[in-house]
Amino acid sequence: MKLQNMFKKTNRRNRVIQGNARPEVPEGLLRKCNKCGAAIIADEVREGNYICPKCQGYFRVHARRRIEMMADTDTFEEWDAHLASCNPLDFKDYDEKIKALQEKTGLTEAVVTGKAKIDGQPVALGVCDGRFLMASMGEAVGEKITRAVERATKERLPVLLFACSGGARMQEGMISLMQMAKTSAALKRHSDAGLLYISVLTDPTTGGVTASFAMLGDIILAEPNALIGFAGPRVIEQTIGEKLPKGFQRSEFLLEHGFIDGIVRREEQKEILGRILKMHGSPMKTVCEGSAAAHKAAGETTVRKKAGSAWESVQISRKKDRPVGGDYISHLFTDFIELHGDRYYKDDKAVVGGLAYFQGTPVTVVAQAKGKSTKENVERNFGMPSPDGYRKALRLMKQAEKFHRPVICFVDTPGAFCGLEAEERGQGEAIAKNLFELSALKTPILSVVIGEGGSGGALAMAVADEVWMLENSVYSILSPEGFASILWKDSKRADEAAEVMKLTASDLKELRMIEKIIPEPEDFTEENMDVVCKELEFLLAGFQEKYWGMEVEELTERRYQRFRKM
Amino acid sequence: MIGKVLIANRGEIAVRIIRACREMGIETVAVFSEADREALHTQLADEAICIGPAPSPQSYLSMEQIISATVTSGADAIHPGFGFLSENSRFAELCEQCNITFIGPRSDVIRRLGNKQEARNTVMAAGVPVVPGSREPLTDPEAAAKIAERIGYPVIVKAALGGGGKGMRVAQSPEEFAAGFQTAQKEAQMAFGDGTMYLEHYVEHPRHIEFQILADQYGNTIHLGERDCSVQRNHQKMIEEAPSKALSEELRGKMGDAAVRAAKAAGYTNAGTVEFLLEKNGKFYFMEMNTRIQVEHPVTEWVTGIDLVKEQIRIADGKHLSYTQQDVQITGHAIECRINAEDPSHNFRPSPGRITDMYLPGGKGVRIDSAIYSGYTVPPYYDSMLAKLIVHAKNRKEAIRKMRNALGEVIIEGIHTNVDYQYEILNHPDFVAGDIDIEFIGKMSRR
């Protein structure tokens, strides 16, 4: 049955419209989302971090508002507020344009700098304002940023810049171009002084700003779906005569390609930034006595007799339900913040790394990460790192060196990824570079082999002050299958090979290649890994006590000798 | 003066409101999602405006769309029905800001009553009993035992971070309490990593009794008696009746007074419902106040003769209440059964689809509020309620008989419904005897 036009309608009463109080939407109550076009309630946008409640699109946030969102109440103190552009090229109509923008925005230039506190942590803060000539960088912007960075270097403050820019300012020609060099140089000095710089990229960050201060952060974060690139997408399309793929030059694209450490939603930004600043702000804590004493009590009970044959260890080390790198990170450390990317090509998911606390002290953790399911294993390439993975690991370790954070590595890989792309991007070079750099890294390094220690792919993360192994983990020149096939032309004799290769923890302890063996429970899984983690925690506390206060020369000399003797 | 009402709802309640408006000579504007183009409310109203795609967040919950539709259509008021935006204080506030009459209480009242703790504090200050409990978080068993004594046994121990029944224990006596508290705390520690506990008096085998309130803008507040909604499945009401077999005239007076006091304390206007838990011993406790018209309002309409939706519109239009408390007389007995598109043999899973044929009963004392018709397709996006079958008779016994007959006549082909399940309840000896509490359905389906 169709009901269209079947029903009688209301018999209208004589309507008297009283007064002029007709329903209407007051000005400013609703607004239109410039991304999805939907009508939205202005208050909801304001209260919701300027994110469209309908399409989750991000509205651009101007400088003052951003400072209000990030800085602790009443802590912002502006620097160089008076600095403005003085039209260095006498560009026509430029003065008038600047003046009009100054009146409209209440700003003197396209960036606001100063000092603030974020969750109680002091920081030199700079925020670009897109309303001002698309926050393009002319001399005033470059100067303000440079001065802020210089002052931060002098006052030993971390720097936090929120980038948003169309690039260099055309009206100021070559003077604009030089701001790229000037700001970068100031950041280099800030960095050499051992200070932290966090860059947050917002929509859009392009051109000369991307190619200078925006991409120089020790840690680079981005807002979701922000346009980030050097050349603008339209220019690229015109040049190459092709349509660009969806999502090209967006934050997610950059994350995948290894250029940013992470994408942080607005509602979490302040908390994450506060945590990162705190991790870089507090001096190293001394080892608490309890854990050191406990460690001593634990003593050398860690060396136990070998459980079964070498081949059994090989099989156990490969078991699907054996705890993986990620499990150790979540069980042994707190407040883990994952940092992504090698800053060259990709974020390799076979390596997971980032910042965390170990018993209250900031550390850098890097783990070769197998997956826990087939799907995750495909994503993580079964724990076989590509060159990008080793480069990410090295990047994070160099960062640890800069901030005097110890490095803790978890090794668990069948081997470095064997494939076309890996060779194209220099698998051998990447591994070699890690051996080279790690040998002299000026901060303590500990490597723990938790599963398979597959050859050079493992060693690239095990040039350490000490190497420990779990009871049933293995560490070898190559897989027993490979060994048998090369020497005996029969990969089926892998079990035999395993026995002669000396790849078990106890074999390697005897050969003095490793320092400690951590016992495992039977049928070792994440369920019962607490006992292993407890032991690891004791031992780590001991490692901390022994190495974390050591003079750099002694530390690197010891590490040199450790391998020199082999 | 309200001349045109936009109904921000769908289904039978939208139809119910359109009918009331039509009787009052008020024009109606329906809003509909793309899935409801053929819906009865869309066709029945004087005008209809599409407000977006099928999923409710993009249509029936989209405040901006509904406000825009109201202003565009020239309606002066919005009736929110129940569900959707009916208890959204933000929406009511938007209406106020746009000079649209929201047919319901003021936004600040909705906000206050929507906050559990604030609602509790408000009614407590007016002397309305609430379930006694510990305000302070507890960790020490001995201190907790003292508080349990004060609250009165039986008590229930709940984990502060609890959920899903974990970290919960009922203790009937101090002996049981000592062990129960520690087990619950241990469980909470294991499950939520936190052993902070709360204590509450355990209301045993309660009935769900609610009182209908009407209040105008001039401080006149009356109650229209109670509804017994104890027949519930997973907190979803299935059958409601008025009056309740459990209330004496004296208790009705006491609870009604408490309900009026609660409404007054909250500054309530328009139609609302105060929900209580009623123990066997006659003690009752405030649960919450619903700031909207209820699904089960027809049973009250029938035993009082008052059209609640019309009263809602009159009150919103600034009129005085048409009735005093003395005018309200309860006559006979009314029962409502909710007819849902769901499959009782498969754990009541929703059963959307096309209604190929149907026949609905009628006759003296039988009312049907529905939005279905032969050939109508029940969309899968919304609530599964198809119709409400309400009967009225001289007394409960006759009402039950009438309801059985009516249920027996319902024919809805093409989809599964709970009609047979309702028929079973109507024949259940405990229901017939009126011996029910909120655990009735749970016990019945376990058997």
Looking at residue A129, what is its pLDDT? 96
Residue A39's pLDDT band, with cuts at 50, 70 and 90, is confident
Tell me: the pLDDT tens digits for A123-144? 999 999 999 999 999 999 999 9
Q: Indicate the domain borders of chain A.
A: 26-58, 60-280, 302-564
User: Residue A463 has which token pair?
Assistant: 């040039």
pLDDT band at A21 (very low <50, low <70, confident <90, very high): confident
Q: Which of the 8 DSSP states describes residue A135? A: G
pLDDT value, residue A131 = 95
DSSP state, residue B85: T
* Banded pLDDT at A98 (limits 50, 70, 90): very high
* CATH architecture observed for domain B4-103: 3-Layer(aba) Sandwich (3.40)
Q: Looking at residue A13, what is its pLDDT?
A: 60
* pLDDT tens, position by position, A541-557: 999 999 988 999 999 99
Distance CA B210, CA B242 (A): 10
**CA distances in angstroms from B189 to B110, B186, B192, B290, listed in the order given:** 36, 5, 6, 35
User: Chain A contact for B189, CB < 8 A?
Assistant: no
Would you state the pLDDT for residue A363? 96
CATH number, domain B141-201: 3.30.1490.20
CA distance B65 to B80: 14
Angle (CA) A158-A164-A170 rounded to 5° is: 115
What residues in B contact A10, CB-CB < 8 Å?
A: 21-22, 25-28, 46
| Interchain CB distance below 8 Å, B375 and A2 | yes
Q: Which amino acid is residue A308, in one-letter code?
A: G
Mean pLDDT of all residues in A389-399: 97
Structural domain boundaries in chain B: 4-103, 141-201, 207-446
Query: Tokens standing for B274?
Result: 């105060």
- Helices and strands in chain B, H and E counts: 15, 22
Residue A406, phi then psi, degrees to nearest 5: -65, 155
- Known catalytic residues of B? 292
Question: What pLDDT is attached to residue B1?
Answer: 86
Distance in angstroms (rounded) separating the CA atoms of residues B246 and B230:
11
Helices marked H in A74-217 — which ranges? 94-105, 139-155, 173-192, 207-210
| Angstrom distance (rounded) from CA A436 to CA A458 | 14
Instruction: Identify which of A9, A12, A23 has the shortest CB distance to residue B98.
Output: A23
Query: What pLDDT is attached to residue B193?
Result: 76
The share of chain A scoring above pLDDT 90, in percent, equals 80
B332: burial class by Cβ within 10 Å (0-12, 13-18, 19+)?
Answer: middle
Closest among B360, B347, B339, B368 to B239, alpha carbons compared: B339
Q: What is the model's pLDDT at position A292?
A: 45
pLDDT single digits (tens) A226-269 = 999 999 999 999 999 999 999 999 999 999 999 999 999 999 99
Buried b / exposed e over B351-387, threshold 16 CB at 10 Å, is beeebeebebbeeebbbbbbbbbeebebbebbbbbbb
Distances (CA, A) of A539 to A17, A401, A520, A563: 83, 22, 14, 22
pLDDT value of residue A16: 58
Which pLDDT belongs to residue A464?
Answer: 96
Q: Which of B25, B67, B373 sits opposite A1 (nearest CB)?
A: B373
Return the bridge partners of A167, or none. Answer: none
Name chain B contacts of A3, Cβ cutoff 8 Å: 38, 40, 43, 373
Residues B266 and B108: their CA atoms lie apart, in Å, by 10
Contact with chain A for residue B331, Cβ under 8 A: no
What mean pLDDT is predicted for residues A272-276? 96
Question: Is there a contact between A11 and B65 if contact means CB atoms under 8 Å apart?
Answer: no
Closest-CA distance, A29 to chain B, in angstroms, reads 8
Angle at CA of residue B16, ends B115 and B228, nearest 5°? 55
Burial of residue A147 (number of CB atoms within 10 Å: 0-12, 13-18, 19+):
middle
pLDDT band at A282 (very low <50, low <70, confident <90, very high): low
A6 and B43 in contact by Cβ < 8 A?
yes
Rg (CA), chain A: 29
User: Per residue in B415-437, pLDDT tens?
Assistant: 999 999 999 999 999 999 999 99
The residues of chain B scoring below 50 in pLDDT are: none
Q: How many angstroms separate the CA atoms of B283 and B297, rounded? A: 25
Cβ neighbourhood burial of A31 (10 Å; 0-12, 13-18, 19+): middle
Q: State the pLDDT at residue A17.
A: 57
| Sheet (strand B197-201) strand order | B169-171, B155-159, B197-201
**Cα A310 to Cα A307, A452, A455, A562, B247, distances in angstroms:** 9, 13, 17, 25, 79
The answer regarding whether domain A302-564 maps to CATH 3.30.360.10 reads: no
What is the identity of the amino acid at B168? Answer: M
* Closest-CA distance of chain B to residue A377, Å: 29
Q: How many CB atoms lie within 10 A of CB A60?
A: 18
Compute the nearest-CA separation of B66 from chain A (Å). 11
Does residue A562 register a pLDDT over 90? yes
CA–CA separation, A99 and A108 (whole Å): 9
Select from B98, B373, B374 the Cβ nearest to the Cβ of A24: B98
Contact predicate A317/A452, CB 8 Å: yes
pLDDT score of A293 more than 50: no
Would the CB atoms of A2 and B27 count as touching at under 8 Å?
A: no
| Chain B interface mutation, best of A22, A25, A29, highest count of B Cβ atoms under 10 Å | A25
Reference A465, options A449, A441, A431; nearest CA is A441
Contact between B68 and A24 using a beta-carbon 8 Å cutoff: no
pLDDT greater than 90 at residue A408: yes
The identity of residue B123, as a single letter, is: V
Nearest to A29 among B28, B97, B374 (CB): B97
Please give the pLDDT value at position B447.
Answer: 62
User: How much is the pLDDT for A287?
Assistant: 42
Helix axes B308-316, B11-23, angle to 10 degrees: 70
Rounded distance between C-alpha atoms, residue A232 and residue B429, angstroms: 77
Q: Which residues, including other chains, have CB under 8 Å from residue A272's CB and lie 6 or more apart?
A: A221, A264, A337
Sort residue B192 into left (φ over 0), alpha (ψ -120 to 50) or beta.
alpha
CATH number assigned to the domain covering A60-280: 3.90.226.10
How many beta-carbon contacts under 8 Å exist across A and B?
71
Class of domain B207-446: alpha beta
Q: Tell me how crowded residue A37 is: count the other CB atoms within 10 A of its CB.
A: 10
B-proximal residues of A, 5-34, CB under 8 Å: 6-7, 9-13, 15-18, 21-26, 29-30
Number of Cβ within 10 Å of residue A96's Cβ equals: 9
pLDDT at B331: 97
**Interchain pair A13, B3: CB under 8 A:** yes
Q: Which amino acid is at A472?
A: N
Are B43 and A7 a contacting pair at CB < 8 A?
yes
A20: closest chain B residue by CA: B99
The per-residue pLDDT for A560 is: 96
pLDDT in tens, A444-500: 999 999 999 989 999 999 999 999 999 999 999 989 998 999 999 988 999 999 999
- Interface check for B100 against chain A (CB to CB < 8 A): the answer is yes
Q: State how far residue A40 is from chain B, nearest Cα, in angstroms.
A: 6
Assigned token pair, B77: 């008021």
Put simply, whether A1 touches B (Cβ < 8 Å) is yes
- What is the band of A527 on the pLDDT scale with cuts at 50, 70, 90? confident
* Residue-level pLDDT at A273: 97
Nearest CB to A1: which of B4, B94, B375? B375
Dihedral of the CA atoms B289, B295, B299, B304 (nearest 10)?
60
